[in-house]
Structure 1
Amino acid sequence: MSEHDVSEPPTALSAPPSASPTAVHTASTVERGSFCLARCTCGWSGPARRARDRARTDAAAHAGDSGHP
């Protein structure tokens, strides 16, 4: 056996669970001072908004978008 022989085949790296295209997105709003922003369990964060309604709209749009990681 030479030093270049490998006894075990290389293992494939799997994607983290949050990167799964079928992952469920749970978005909510978070307040920071006079701003409100949308955040998701996948790590996504929307822009800071002064209007809470706009942050809620961002959260709903992200949660409904199946193409987002």
Structure 2
Amino acid sequence: MPPSDPPPPLHRATTMEKGAFSHATCVCGWRGPARRARDRARRDATEHEQG
């Protein structure tokens, strides 16, 4: 039986705040740019999770 491919990396993104800025981070190590608009940081996280 041939070895199976490893599972794809898990993506679970959240947003973090620091002062007036928010940014998205993921358990895979990815980090989005700092944003003043929280909704844009959340959108960055969603787009990253969707690949």
Shorter-normalised TM-score: what interval? 0.7 to 0.9
Identity %: 57
After TM superposition, what 4+ stretches of structure 1 lie above 3 angstroms from structure 2? none
- Could you say which residue in structure 1 is the equivalent of 2:37? 51
Q: Structure 1 or 2: larger strand share?
A: 2
Q: Could you tell me how far 1:21 is from its partner in structure 2?
A: 6.6
Q: Distance in 2 between matches of 1:31 and 1:45?
A: 12
Separation in 1 of the partners of 2:7 and 2:20? 34
Residues 30-63 of structure 1 deviation map (CA, whole Å, 9 limit, x = unaligned): 0010000000000000000000000000000001
Aligned to 2:15, what secondary structure does the other structure show? strand
Q: Give me the whole-angstrom Cα distance separating, in 1, the residues matched to 2:31 and 2:43.
A: 13
Count residues with an aligned counterpart: 46
Please tell me whether Structure 1 or Structure 2 has the larger radius of gyration of its CA atoms. 1
The secondary structure found in structure 2 opposite 1:62 is helix
RMSD: 1.3
CA distance in 1, matches of 2:26, 2:39: 16
Compute the TM-score of the two structures, normalised by the length of structure 1. Answer: 0.63
Corresponding residue for residue 21 of structure 2:
35
